[in-house]
Amino acid sequence: MLRLAGEAGLRRAEIAQVHTGDLMDGGALLVHGKGGKNRVVPISTYLVSLIRQAPAGWLFPNTPDRHLTPEHVGKIISRALPDNWTAHTLRHRMASRAFHGSRNIRAVQALLGHESILTTERYVAICDDEIRAAAACAW
């Protein structure tokens, strides 16, 4: 759960709905996103191997034919994190890391499944070094 939030940027509901059948060739995951919109998210080889090792079906089952609720996923993740951290905190951190590594806000938007680029911009944190560099350009 932690890796799906922190490495792939999935929302709680998206994590809850991961099915072993959603693993795609080439190291990608079919994500069942907000508003019924699916997207394909590349994932690490380590995450691929974890999903492949899981029994067929829901990755986080509640019963054999149902998955955990998003609320349950959120509680499990929050318990594993420092105080005041949530699954959404991991999603924001992933967005910031992806942007700082790629410098491509549109790619980050696609990874997160945001309709609006403005939403993605709110996710991306600006570090002090970047603020200092921007100021230095004006000197």
pLDDT score of 126 = 84
Which pLDDT score, from 0 to 100, does residue 131 have? 86
Is 72 an annotated catalytic residue?
A: no
Residue 123 annotated to the active site: yes
pTM, rounded to two decimals: 0.91
Comparing CA positions, the residue from 59, 73, 62 lying closest to residue 12 is 73
Secondary structure of residue 17 in the 3-state scheme: coil
> Span 95-120, mean pLDDT?
96
Q: Is 100 a catalytic residue?
A: no
Active-site residue flag, 46: no
- Compute the radius of gyration of the chain from its Cα atoms: 16
The fold of the 2-138 domain, in CATH, is hpI Integrase; Chain A (1.10.443)
pLDDT tens column, 71-97: 999 999 999 999 999 999 999 999 999
- Residues 19, 32, 67, 91: which is the catalytic one? 91
Catalytic residue among 19, 32, 67, 114: 114
114 is catalytic: yes
What distance lies between CA 43 and its chain's CA centroid?
Answer: 10
The verdict on whether 97 is a catalytic residue reads: no
Q: What's residue 130's pLDDT?
A: 85
pLDDT of residue 127 exceeding 90, the answer is no
**Tell me: the pLDDT tens digits for 12-60?**
999 999 999 999 999 999 999 999 999 999 999 999 999 999 999 999 9
72, 88, 93, 100: which one is catalytic? 88
Report which secondary-structure segment, H or E, holds 39.
strand 38-42
Out of 3, 34, 39, 72, which one is annotated catalytic?
A: 34
